Structure 1
């Protein structure tokens, strides 16, 4: 009698819940769903990757187009890129060629000093050659004198062939010295001229060093003075770019201040009208109260109470109308 007809089935058969047919079918269905998801995920993943990379490429392309648009339309960016290119090329050129004016003059002086040292070495070589020629000529003279003495001795002894041989050798040495004499004279003159040129060059190098040092100091002083004057002119005239933004900020602040002052004036006008209306109402009520007090002091209070209802009916709409007018003016 008390056994419920409908209710959850009880495991009367003794099987575990996971071995029931509906449970097995459910797990099989879940496994099929997981397998299908893995399979189709492998199919859709390359498509998603292509979408992501295509989106990135699209963003990069739009960014490049935006930069090209700015380069084509914005004069300030074009000017900045122009000066940047000039700076880059100048820096690259400075790696190979000195572009500083003072540095160029100093390089010229260093090269001139190097040439002067090379010239001094060449003069030394020429003087050495002159000294060798002189020594050779002196040795030939000594040898010639010796050959002449031998020839004279051979003649006194009656050996004519030997005397002729020694005399021929002496003649050859004399011809040799005669040929060496122009070379000795030339080397002596060239060494003398080159010494004079070297002295003049060294003197010119010293003068150039003095001028370069003077110009360097003057240039440094002028650059510092120009930097100070440029700072002063920036204060007086203002940097054009910074002044442009300063003017924009000033206009914005002026507009904001004008708007705020207008709101303040409008609020003050509304509050003044409201306070004036309230003062009028308070003045009217004060006069009425004063009249009631006077009548009360004179013993006329009963007459006042008898006439209160009509008076109240007459004064309430008037007060409401005055209040509505005051708020209406406040919200205008």
Structure 2
């Protein structure tokens, strides 16, 4: 019996144990990856630009889809629609109120002018209907005259029926007369309806004229009342402003008053200080004048007594002897000493 050869089985097991990269397909895979890496390096900038564009496009798409979703939510949400409607209504009411407050009388006059324009337009339509009614009446009368003429022709042709063609002429005349009669029968309801419409339009025109005149009187009255009230209110505001004062103007008035008070206080302080300094000088002068005055009186008295000694230049001072009284001379000398 032959011994089995297991060498090939072991080789297959060793081949299976080898890694992928050590196999022939692994080598081919490394070459392919190297080629892809090389291409990636060559076209690296283009690939990066493509990725950036793709990313930005995805972000833009996401933002657009988000905005679209928000809009869909806003349009489909009943609460949001109600809130937007009331917000719009409030805004329009505020704007309307602002316009009305600017000049309410002018708005009322514009309304009257609009009524007058509508009345003029209605009068033009009345004139058109009246013209159509005249045409319709004329058409019915013309048809009646034609009917009479056709029936007369039919009677005449019937009287001459023995002549060739007269029967056909009479039949044709009666057909035309019957057709015109049928037309008049259809036109007559239209004429009556138009007549009723014209009568109604005339009444509306008269009522509109009355309403416009009444509204004009009301507006003139309101304008007069409003002007009187405004003048009275302005007069009262002027009277109240005398007591309360305009806040802006009163601010400047108070500031001016405060400045004047501060300036007066500073100047009065300066004057008091100057007067204090002047009084010290004046008192000193008065004292000196008093001393000099006393000394002058004493010298005058000594002079009258003959005891005054004059100052002599380049010589010793000598007493002036004005009399034979030695006691006066001694007293004067003591006073000088």
Is 1:148 aligned with 2:123? no
- The alpha-carbon deviation at position 153 of structure 1 amounts to 3.1
Distance 1:291 1:305, change over 3 A: closer
Q: TM-score of the superposition, structure 1-length normalised?
A: 0.56
Which residue number corresponds to residue 43 of structure 1?
none
Q: Which structure 2 residues correspond to residues 252-291 of structure 1 after superposition, within 5 A?
A: 252-287=259-294, 290=297
Give the number of equivalent residue pairs. Answer: 217
Pairs within 5 Å for 1:50-65: none
Q: CA deviation at 1:129?
A: 0.8
Q: Is it true that 1:135 corresponds to 2:142 in the alignment?
A: no
Q: Which residue does the alignment assign to 1:15?
A: none
Distance in 2 (CA, whole Å) between partners of 1:98 and 1:151 is: 79
For residues 118 and 204 of structure 1, what CA distance do their matches in structure 2 show?
16
CA distance in structure 2 between the aligned counterparts of 1:304 and 1:151, rounded to whole angstroms: 184
Distance 1:98 1:126, change over 3 A: farther
Distance 1:162 1:285 in 2: 167
Equivalent residue for 2:126? 123
Secondary structure of the residue that 1:147 maps to in structure 2?
A: helix
Q: Does 1:250 align with 2:277?
A: no
Q: Who is 2:214 aligned against?
A: 207
- What does residue 107 of structure 1 align with? 110
How much is the aligned-residue C-alpha RMSD, in angstroms?
A: 3.3
Once the two structures are TM-superposed, the CA of residue 201 in structure 1 deviates from its matched residue by: 1.0
- Structure 1: which 5+ runs fail to align? 1-89, 312-332
> Is the Cα–Cα contact under 8 Å of residues 123 and 195 in structure 1 kept in the other structure?
yes
2:169 to 162, 170, 173: 162
> Bigger CA drift: 291-300 or 186-195?
291-300
Q: CA deviation digits over 1:55-81, x for unaligned, max 9? A: xxxxxxxxxxxxxxxxxxxxxxxxxxx
1:175 aligns with 2:202: no
Tell me, what secondary structure is at the counterpart of 1:119?
Answer: helix
CA distance in 1, matches of 2:159, 2:286: 166
TM superposition shift of 1:190: 1.0
Partner Cα separation in structure 1 for residue 291 and residue 160 of structure 2: 176
- Report if the CA contact (8 A) 1:109-1:208 is conserved: yes
1:186 to 189, 193, 198: 193
- Please list every run of 5 or more consecutive structure 2 residues that lacks an aligned counterpart in the other structure: 1-94, 307-324
State the 1:215 CA deviation.
3.0
**Partner residue in 1 for 2:333:** 306
Contact 1:98–1:104, Cα closer than 8 Å, also in 2: no
Cα deviation, residue 138, structure 1: 1.3
CA 1:252–1:278 in structure 2 vs 1: closer, same or farther (change >3 Å)?
same
Cα deviations by residue, 1:39-58 (Å, 9 ceiling, x for unpaired): xxxxxxxxxxxxxxxxxxxx
When Rg is computed on C-alpha atoms for both structures, the one with the higher figure is: 2
Match of 1:241? Answer: 248
Query: 1:99 and 1:115, CA in 2 relative to 1: closer, same or farther beyond 3 A?
Result: farther
Aligned-residue offset at 1:188: 0.7
